[in-house]
């Protein structure tokens, strides 16, 4: 049974996917998955989602986003998309703060390494199974 915090993070990705033109392969869902991949790769916990889109973590989160966008996304210009959603226009940061009054930001900081790994595996497996 998933933890409450894991359910909040998964719910946020689901909500972003429903609103995205390309579903889970859209810019914002892939950006959140990229943040999870970064945490998983570095074995980091206790980080808020908004922290991962600000320095010093933004560069590494962006690198994961570009990888996911190239491999699985339906995004024509991933680098430009990153600047729109996580850069100066801060679309993703605004969505994080609006989702359930910012609960997702706090929820991510409470995930265990095992929960982060589980989310990353399930999202990447799903992306690999579905066609572009």
Q: Are 47 and 109 in contact (CB under 8 A)?
A: yes
| Token pair for 72 | 């699985």
What pTM was computed for the model?
Answer: 0.91
Q: Are 30 and 73 in contact (CB under 8 A)?
A: yes
Containing H/E element for 111?
Answer: none
Domain-by-domain residue ranges, the chain? 4-129
Tell me, rounded to whole angstroms, the distance of Cα 65 from its chain centroid.
Answer: 8
Q: In angstroms, rounded to a whole number, what is the distance separating the alpha carbons of residues 64 and 82?
A: 11
pLDDT digits (tens, 9 = 90+) for 88-101: 777 888 888 887 75
Q: In angstroms, rounded to a whole number, what is the distance separating the alpha carbons of residues 99 and 8?
A: 10
pLDDT digits (tens, 9 = 90+) for 36-90: 999 999 999 999 998 999 889 999 999 999 999 999 988 888 888 888 888 777 7
């Amino acid at each position: 049974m998933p933890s409450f915090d894991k359910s909040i993070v998964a719910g946020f990705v689901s909500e972003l996917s429903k609103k995205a033109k390309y579903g889970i392969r859209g810019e914002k869902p892939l950006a959140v998955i990229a943040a999870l991949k970064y945490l998983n790769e570095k074995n980091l916990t206790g980080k808020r989602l908004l922290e991962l889109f600000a320095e010093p973590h933004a560069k590494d989160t962006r690198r994961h986003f570009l990888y996911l966008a190239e491999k699985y996304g339906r995004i024509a210009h991933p680098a430009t998309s990153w600047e729109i959603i996580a850069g100066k226009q801060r679309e993703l940061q605004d969505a994080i703060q609006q989702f359930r009054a910012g609960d997702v930001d706090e929820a991510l900081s409470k995930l265990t390494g095992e929960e982060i790994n589980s989310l990353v595996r399930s999202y990447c497996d799903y992306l690999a199974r579905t066609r572009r």
